A and B are shown apart, each in its own frame.
Chain A
């Protein structure tokens, strides 16, 4: 006889897509979000390769958000956002609100793994603050050490601007730049032709 499927642990959770504007903020939310954090978050959500990779958390008993205030705030009120809905007492809701992020923050970093991942992934633009944070974390968790070296105190000669890889077909677009550089006394301007793409 087939075994009856095990009942899910209580309280039950379900996922729904709900308009961001209809999600009520939690008055006890203690987390504040900087513009940089919101920009980074918006950038990730708007990245077509990523989109929603996390959900908001809602307590249906109180009708309040427990997690996801930042995600809710970076989209228009009519945007449908993924919401994980549960049912908790007010006391339990407060405990979740208080501990959800700190529990995640208690994780330690494996500096080597982190460094490898950082080298593999390009975080720029709005994600730059995250990159800086992770670089700092990788350094502080690893055996990072810095060296201080003296700098030669001489302005570099104005004769070393060399432009390489300028496609002939698009040379006209940079003519002004080349002329500007070439106008500096003693400057050597070299160009070769190839089909390298120009992205500006």
Chain B
């Protein structure tokens, strides 16, 4: 059997279109510096880099690969001082640890791409549950209800931001059919003097 390359690229068309929207609007000057947090096979950004001029691209992934160290990108974002202005979190898991780290250490206007929720979305971290005011340790809920409940957490996680940050624009890409995974782009900037 032939190897199936890792594909977190279901709905690739939507992911690409979302990124094109923000790149055209905020990074047409060719100064985009990208941190691709969950590079995988690198399909998305190899396509986008053929369409847009970018200043720098750094792809990392928690899984090592030939020519690439395995790096947990959350740890990069948790350290103040990263200089990228495009953060791409196209992950299988929750993007929120990345998102919260970006918000904490934001130093310049930045575009963030988040892939949130999967099919049968029935898990959420305590961190995200807490944002929505849900503090129980263990919920025994019917799957359908739990999926809906946790689906709503995306809004809490996305838009509960510290006062030091302002959301300039948020947009979502869709394929015109039902999909439990959301593809979200958010442009954020620090509030106050840089």
Contacts and interface: CB of A to CB of B under 8 A. Distances in A.
Interface of A: 31-34, 36-37, 40-41, 67-71, 101-102, 104-105, 124, 128-133, 135-136, 139-140, 144-151, 153-156, 158, 160-161, 163-166, 173-174, 176-177, 179-181, 183-185, 187, 196-200
A140 B149 contact: no
B125 to A, nearest CB: 16
A130 B4 contact: yes
Contact of B10 (A36, A132, A180, A197): A132
A82 B3 CA distance: 21
Interface of B: 1-14, 16-18, 21, 118-120, 132-145, 149, 152, 155-156, 158-160, 167, 169-176, 184-185
Nearest to B153: A156
A183 B129 CA distance: 13
24 contacts: A36-B4, A37-B3, A68-B1, A129-B6, A131-B10, A135-B11, A136-B11, A139-B11, A139-B175, A145-B17, A146-B11, A146-B17, A147-B17, A147-B173, A149-B174, A155-B156, A155-B160, A156-B152, A156-B159, A161-B134, A173-B140, A181-B136, A198-B141, A198-B142
B134 A184 contact: yes
B171 A148 contact: yes
Nearest to A105: B2
For the complex of A and B, 9 pairs with smallest distance between CB atoms: A180-B136, A132-B10, A184-B133, A177-B139, A135-B10, A146-B14, A146-B17, A151-B170, A101-B2
